[in-house]
Structure 1
Amino acid sequence: MDTRKTGLAATRRRVVVTGEVQGVFFRDTCRRTALQYQVAGWVRNLPDGSVEAVFEGEPHHVALLVEWAGQGPPAATVRQVSVVDEEAEGLEGFEVR
């Protein structure tokens, strides 16, 4: 989302989600949810079985996506979500890595 149109500064959050989050369509559902909220960024599986994602965009929409990550898709069992604030980079689009 182009936050310049709304006058809001973009927010960026990096999240790491642990639990049963791989093999349950977490990344694809995350991508679809991010597009719904017009949030840019990416999501990827990590070797330890967790999922890492970066969400960037309008603060309220980023907050909604971070909240979604705490639940994940129906087949996921989320145990913990770590969230770190970062400086926005002006990302566009959302990709599964």
Structure 2
Amino acid sequence: MAKVGLFVPAKEPVEIPWFEKILADIGDEQSIEQNLSTFSGHIRRIVRILEALEQATLSPETLPHSPSPSLPPLPVPQSPPLPVPQSHPS
């Protein structure tokens, strides 16, 4: 809630974890000198973003956990499987 600017209805002290990095592909990186099209410029940036993500590892602090040691850990949310499209013969 706090990350989108909403009031957090909680008693103090409140710990609100924040992002360590924000990685984005914004703009146009085409270059005649480097023989880069708009598409290849975006691909180069995405590769750099993926490399940065590979360097970041999950630590126990980043995993979901219970706010109280006496409570069981919270489950990791998972999305339901997507339906498989059925092909229809023409």
For the aligned pair, the TM-score class normalised by the smaller chain equals under 0.3
Q: Structure 1 length normalisation: TM-score?
A: 0.22
Larger relative contact order, structure 1 or 2 (CA cutoff 8 Å, min sep 6): 1
Larger Rg: 2
Which structure has the highest strand share of the two?
A: 1
